[in-house]
Amino acid sequence: MAERYEIRFSGAGGQGLITAGIILAEAASIVDNKYAVQSQSYGPEARGGASKAEVIISDEPIDYPKATVVDACLAMTQEAADKYAVGIKPGGLLLIDTDFVKNAPKGDFKVYDMPIIRTAKEEIGREIVANVIALGAMIALTDVVSRESGETAVLRKVPEAFIDLNKKAYSLGFEKVKELLAK
């Protein structure tokens, strides 16, 4: 992967999408020793509103630090989908949360849907890990870092007490995508 690969995580403020972006950037730049830049934009509100994090990954030094045309995008809410699921590269991909994005943006890219929040609630019992499920799903979809590198980065980031919870969430996101792709 010599060329730059751009991923955008978007949703509501407080959903942990910036954290997901940071973990992916760590997986790429610290665990895998590639180049990565993570950036975000946020409004003045700490919770709610539309928020996004972007990660650019490359085998070579990265010049422009912001996304140009994104290869892959995640949208957790309708507002985020409307605002940030734009400028996706032809042939790129978009992952949406089935329950919250009713009108998926249309374009020359593949749309995948998954009940991310519901999965977190029902299969893990904690909505808070939805971002890690989404991260697992995005890594499975894009293959931009290996499954193991992603997991290592997740575990580096979370407190000791939450390791099992996050390990489970990450695997779940990853497996759900594998099922989706097998269909």
Partner 1 sequence: MAKKIALLQGNDACAHGALYAGCTFFGGYPITPSTEVAEVMSQELPKVGGTFMQMEDEIAAMAAILGASLAGAKVLDATSGPGMSLKQELIGYACIAEITCVVVNVMRGGPSTGMPTGPSQSDMQQAKWGTHGDHAAIVLTPASCQELYEETGRAFNMAEKYRMPVQIQIDEIGAHMRERVEFAEPGELEVIDREVTTLSPEEYEPYADTESIVAPLAPFGSGYRYHVTGLNKSADGFPTTKAELVAHEEQRQIDKVALNAADIEKNEEYQLEDAEVVLFAYGTTSRSARYAVNELRKEGVKAGMFRPLTMWPFPEKRIAELADQAKAIVCAEMNLGQMVIEIDRVAKGNCVVAHIGRVDGEPINPGQIIDKVKEVL
- Please give the residue ranges that form the binding site for partner 1 (CB under 8 A): 22, 25-26, 29-30, 35-44, 62-66, 68
d(CA 153, CA 4): 20
Count the Cβ atoms, other than its own, within 10 Å of residue 23: 30
CB of 104 to partner 1, least distance (A): 26
Q: Which is nearer to partner 1, 22 or 81 (CB)?
A: 22
Q: Which is nearer to partner 1, 66 or 178 (CB)?
A: 66
CB of 78 to partner 1, least distance (A): 23
Q: Which is nearer to partner 1, 10 or 38 (CB)?
A: 38
Neighbouring-strand partners of residue 12: 50
Name every residue whose Cβ is closer than 8 Å to that of residue 27 and which is 6 or more positions away in sequence: 139, 145, 149, 150, 152, 153
User: CB-side exposure of 113: number of CA atoms within 13 Å?
Assistant: 14
CB of 160 to partner 1, least distance (A): 19
Q: Which is nearer to partner 1, 154 or 172 (CB)?
A: 154
